Amino acid sequence: MDVYSKFETELAVRPDDIDLYQHVHSTRYIDYVLAARFDQMERHYGMSMQDFAKLGYGWFMTAAHIQYKRPLGWGDRMTVRCWIEHFTENGCRVAFEIEKNPTGKRVCDGWCDYVLVTLATGRATPLPADIKARYSI
């Protein structure tokens, strides 16, 4: 079984993330993972989402799972840790953990499945070997 690197991005809760119950709305956690992945793709893999678009590719999410442990609130800071769990013929599963700073307590964890698509058609395409190699660190 392959083991891939875990990367971290620090983010802060924004005022518009807060829901009626005065904590972060459940849908915002996926936004945090997406923001962290965009950052990590550029900083750690050396291939940003814009680079994929220049090649005519994009990533579509096909499934997501989140296990909530405790809420984040207004003004909280967090560390979003992401890593590739495994590859498929045309995509990958990205696992994640979000921890509250400075306590390090787990807020949630889960995974997202992504498929690589050709932007011109919107159809899944096999993951090129050079891209898989770049992301296999």
Domain assignment of residue 74, yes or no: yes
- 74 is in which domain, residue-wise? 7-134
Does a structural domain hold residue 130?
A: yes
What CATH number did the domain enclosing 29 receive? 3.10.129.10
- Which residues touch 82 (CB under 8 Å, ≥6 apart)? 6, 7, 9, 33, 36, 37, 40, 94, 95, 96
Q: What is the C-alpha to C-alpha distance for residues 25 and 47, in angstroms, rounded to an integer?
A: 30
Mean pLDDT computed over 25-54: 97
Average pLDDT over residues 115-132: 97
Provide, rounded to the nearest whole percent, the portion of the chain with pLDDT above 70. 99
Q: What percent of the chain has pLDDT over 90?
A: 98
pLDDT in tens, 50-92: 999 999 999 999 999 999 999 999 999 999 999 999 999 999 9
Contacts of residue 127, Cβ cutoff 8 Å, sequence gap at least 6:
87, 88, 89, 90, 91, 92, 116
For residue 2, name the pLDDT band (cuts at 50, 70, 90).
confident
Q: Please indicate, yes or no, if residue 2 is contained in any of the structural domains.
A: no
Question: Per-residue pLDDT for 1 more than 70?
Answer: no
The structure's pTM equals 0.94
d(CA 137, CA 7): 11
Question: Are the C-beta atoms of residues 65 and 111 closer than 8 Å to each other?
Answer: yes
Question: Is residue 1 situated within a structural domain?
Answer: no
Instruction: Quote the number of domains for the chain.
Output: 1
